[in-house]
Structure 1
Amino acid sequence: MKETAYQWVDENEKEIIEWSDTVWGFAELGLLEYKTSKYLSEILEKHGFHVERGVADMPTAFVGSWSNGEGPTLGILGELDALAGLSQKAVPWKEPIEEGAPGHGCGHNIYGAGAVAAGIALKTAMEEHNIGGTIKVYGCPAEETLVGKVWMVRHGLFEGVDAVLAHHPGSANTAGTGSSNAMNSFKVHFYGRTAHSAGDPENGISALDAVELMSNGVNFMREHIIEKARVHYIHEECGGQPNVVPAYARTWYYVRAPERSQVEEIYAWVLDIIKGADLMARTKSRVEFLTGCYNKIPNKVLADLVVSQMREIGAPKHTEEELEFADKMAETIDIEKKMNSLQKSN
């Protein structure tokens, strides 16, 4: 059976790469992956999968299903979204297709195309060898903002699935047994009162002041949280022009830590900081909780199985052209950054 699946992949290698390159060209942000979703789901339909679109209240999410009778149900995950501001031509130096546009910095073009290819290859092998079971290929949007899979779980799309396989492009071919960070994603809306900044400042209540006070509080907090915790933020809206006191401002935060309980502790502290910012700036606020997740629970049984199959297939063989591309890319990274990466990995 495995040889049949391997053969399908080998015979369709150029087409699979074309799928990946096409998605690279789309490069759409989370929940906006309309072209990517349509393109990959139509490939599944063409190969005999029944596709449900717009699942889990997300217009770009889809599940492609195919069944060959009774047997286990296997899920295969594919991610769709790109990253903001990382537009890039297929060259080994930094050169955007469009300045400031999204780009696939995390390789989700490979992830999505690879999941579709894996589903079709497995279907081909199951048909040829008359093996019972069901395949579900999940088109998962908005991985970068931690929405897609969380909402899919919430809507019960993995109920009845016996095992789920996923991969992510990285620096090594392996199935690790490490965990990941737990995380909360949330926005804070601050509300004040507008006034002229020069002529009537005493009647203004600056929502921007509250955003800055919150940021200061969070940054003082950093010294007293665990080393492996991460807190990131951006200010999405902070007023229109300097001569008007901003009556509204909005900031977006991620809180990450190795354990869920650690995230909850830091998050509770941040909520107190928000209250403090309101007291100091005389604003009112509203916290909009977007999404959250637990740290990953490793599955050693599945990881060992995947690694054993990788060893059976063997390491990838790169062409001279691919190696030359990698060498040119390496030249764009200075020695200090390389040393930092090596030291960080120890």
Structure 2
Amino acid sequence: MPRARSSTAGHPRFTKQCRARMHSAIVLSDHFAAPPPRPATSDECSSAVQWPRRRVAPARIERREKCMVKHQEVGDWLDERQQRFVNISDQIWGFAEVALAETKSCQLQAEDLEADGFRITRNVGGLPTAFVAEWGEGSPVIGFLGEYDALPDLSQKNQAAQEQLVAGGAGHGCGHNLLGTASLAAASALKAWLQETGRPGTVRYYGCPAEETGAGKVFMARAGAFDGLDAAITWHPGSSISAMRGSSLAIDHATFRFFGKTSHAAGAPELGRSALDAVELMNIGVNFLREHIIEAARIHYVITNGGGQPNVVPAEAEVWYYIRAPRRDLVDPITKRVLAIANAAAAMTETRVEVHDLYGIHNFLPNQTLATLAMGVLDELGPMEFTAEEEAFAREV
């Protein structure tokens, strides 16, 4: 209401804020070599001061217009083939295959890209569900990373309410059915654009298994699958659309398998050497360790084998650990201390410990230049538009 606006503008602190806004606008105006806006009247002070427009060089405007034409062309190409990619995503959702068992998902993607003219290399790094699809020749060499593994015990019907599709089955809690399919679509679209324009370049799509356990890309990298890349692009479903500029946590994985001596827990407990006791003592030791590691570190574990039944002293028990920290050099000393705790737990219980599947992954190395470029494109494309049906579904979830 005008009356309310007038009384608010008369407040001394509010008037000062308006002047501060005007000063900021004038400073920006000088910086961009544009004339400052006219001073606001008291009735206008309650609304935001208009920021001056930045003057853009004609060459930059022309380049931006050309970029928008490219975006539109690629967008049209994807829209025309939308059902192809939706079908792939839906099938992978239904397969819901866990790490290193993504046989159908891997085959589906490889066959789709092979039909699109890509050269397929299977069993990359000795992993049956890893493959590389390549098209073109010369530079630049652009890689798109895709994933398609599901998580155990997350089976879910395609609906808002939580209800398992398969009792106790796996499901795509992280949306890897979308992740792999969208990366595949991007690789296919880039290939089509290079064909259309006659430009040189090589497009690669990486079918990466076992992301949820962190193993797949390690073996692929050891096999040299990523050699020769000029840029690697990936993404992950989330609640916002942006280019990732930050890093991730480096991680070590390990399973600790303890071996003791079985005995009847009531009749002759003194003859037994409990492997489960060793697991529990190890976990207690690690929990006390948390006080003496950096705040940004994370340690998680699950007991994967705790014995058969209570009246039998467990001869075998196992615990699975993840150890994380911001950088590789910060993870290593923590892992060393966890290993020492495991050996100490074995000594206290007169059991034996074996360490299996000990491997690590470095923290994510962001490409700031590429992230800035990607964010610029996202800004030009603008926000996503959702139908009323999609918004209703989101509210129901």
Both structures adopt the same fold (TM-score exceeding 0.5): yes
Amino acid at match of 1:260: R
Amino acid at match of 2:234: A
Of 243, 255, 276, the match for 1:208: 276
Of 4, 16, 29, the match for 2:98: 29
1:50 paired with 2:119, answer yes
Amino acid at match of 1:125: W
Q: Offset at 1:106?
A: 0.5
Aligned CA RMSD, in angstroms, stands at: 1.3
CA distance in 2, matches of 1:24, 1:48: 25
CA distance in 2, matches of 1:220, 1:290: 22
Query: Is 1:183–1:294's contact at 8 Å kept on the other side of the alignment?
Result: yes
Structure 1 residue aligned with 2:58: none
Structure 1 residue aligned with 2:109: 40
Structure 2 residue aligned with 1:155: 223
Q: How does 1:54-93 map to 2 (within 5 A)?
A: 54-67=123-136, 69-93=137-161
Runs of 4+ in 1 over 4 A off after TM superposition: none
* Worse-matched range after superposition: 34-43 or 285-294: 285-294
**Normalised TM-score (structure 1):** 0.92
Q: How does 1:176-191 map to 2 (within 5 A)?
A: 176-191=244-259
1:171 paired with 2:239, answer yes
* Worse-matched range after superposition: 16-25 or 140-149: 16-25
Q: How does 1:277-316 map to 2 (within 5 A)?
A: 277-316=345-384
CA distance in 1, matches of 2:289, 2:248: 23
1:8 paired with 2:77, answer yes
Amino acid at match of 1:36: S
Q: Offset at 1:178?
A: 0.8
Of 159, 164, 168, the match for 1:96: 164
Of 129, 142, 153, the match for 2:197: 129
Residue correspondences, number: 328
* Worse-matched range after superposition: 229-238 or 106-115: 229-238
CA distance in 1, matches of 2:362, 2:138: 33
* Worse-matched range after superposition: 310-319 or 141-150: 310-319
Q: Where does structure 1 lack aligned partners over 5 or more consecutive residues? A: 330-346
Query: Is 1:71–1:133's contact at 8 Å kept on the other side of the alignment?
Result: yes
Q: Offset at 1:251?
A: 1.0
Structure possessing the higher relative contact order (Cα contacts under 8 Å, 6 or more residues apart): 1
CA distance in 2, matches of 1:320, 1:21: 22
CA distance in 1, matches of 2:386, 2:75: 18
CA distance in 2, matches of 1:291, 1:130: 43
CA distance in 2, matches of 1:13, 1:5: 12
Q: Where does structure 2 lack aligned partners over 5 or more consecutive residues? A: 1-69
Query: Is 1:77–1:138's contact at 8 Å kept on the other side of the alignment?
Result: yes
Amino acid at match of 1:54: N
Query: Is 1:211–1:249's contact at 8 Å kept on the other side of the alignment?
Result: yes
Of 219, 241, 259, the match for 2:327: 259
CA distance in 2, matches of 1:142, 1:289: 14
Structure 1 residue aligned with 2:337: 269
